[in-house]
Amino acid sequence: MNFSDLLTNVRRIIEDDGLRWSDTPIAEYLVEGVNEIFRKTGGVTDTIPFNFAQGTSEYEITTDGRITTVKVLPENSVTPVTLNQIQVEEIPVDFTDQADPTAYALSQVDTAGTLGSTQMILFNKAPARTATGAFFVDVSREWSFTSDAVATTSPDGGQAGTTIPVLPKFDRHLTNFVAGSLLTELNDNQLAQRGLNMVEIAKKYISDRAYVDSISHFTYTPRRPFP
């Protein structure tokens, strides 16, 4: 399914031909729906390496994805160690004793108290060394997509031909998720409630259909644990 297909199906359900909603809010709810599916199906995880700077306990992570794991590669080792995540309040204020971190916290506020648009990793210890590829961040990849008023009318099709990266079995429920989300914006209790019901039902079906049996279930003895 591409964006043009979704636009057509969503506008049919909400009985709107573009007078109330432009393509932009439809695309915004589409992003939410696709990433809901990504979270339920496991999605794709990227592992990004970062460098240690001696005495620096705070690192800015410039990625749009969701940070799921932080690992440190000990000196003279090839096996990374997964760190425990703690709350920002548990991060010490004094880093006199420098060593490899054993825990981390996530924040959008740096040590100067400035709220930024990027994520920050705050380690509980300041590294005693400067090293390349010293820690690794696992990021759950999230889909992003933008639309505009010419998405369906530009000569080359604009963004209308953009393929939505989900399996076909999710198409109908993704469409209902987007349509229901739009209806919740209406100043009409009956339609807003209908929209909420559509979103919840779509999420349920997405959860039910997201599970994928291990290949071992089909290749080996039934119910045999993976692999």
Residue 217, classified by CB atoms within 10 Å of its CB into exposed (0-12), middle (13-18) or buried (19+), is middle
The reply to whether 118 and 200 lie within a common domain is: no
Q: Which of 118, 140, 162 is the last residue of a domain?
A: 140
Q: Is residue 153 situated within a structural domain?
A: yes
What is residue 80's predicted lDDT score, i.e. its pLDDT? 94
Q: How many structural domains is the chain composed of?
A: 2
User: Mean pLDDT throughout 113-124?
Assistant: 85
Q: Which of 140, 164, 192 is the last residue of a domain?
A: 140
Q: Is residue 100 situated within a structural domain?
A: yes
One-letter amino acid at 42 equals: G
pLDDT over 90 at 112, yes or no: no
Instruction: Give me the long-range contacts of 198-202 (CB less than 8 A, separation at least 24).
Output: 201/176, 202/33, 202/173, 202/174, 202/176, 202/177
Q: pLDDT class for 132, splitting at 50, 70, 90?
A: very high
Reported residue count of the chain is 227
Q: Is residue 77 situated within a structural domain?
A: yes
**DSSP-assigned letter for residue 163:** B
Q: pLDDT class for 212, splitting at 50, 70, 90?
A: low
Half-sphere exposure of 225 (CA within 13 A, CB side): 0
Domain, as residue range, for 30? 3-42+144-211
Write out pLDDT tens, residues 168-209: 999 999 999 999 999 999 999 999 999 999 999 999 999 888
Contact between residue 119 and residue 12 where contact means Cβ atoms under 8 Å apart: no
Q: Is residue 109 situated within a structural domain?
A: yes
The reply to whether 117 and 70 lie within a common domain is: yes
Sign of CA dihedral 121, 126, 130, 131: negative
The pTM for the full model equals 0.69
Q: Is residue 217 situated within a structural domain?
A: no
Q: pLDDT class for 151, splitting at 50, 70, 90?
A: low
Average pLDDT, the chain: 85
Q: Is residue 57 situated within a structural domain?
A: yes
Q: Is residue 226 situated within a structural domain?
A: no
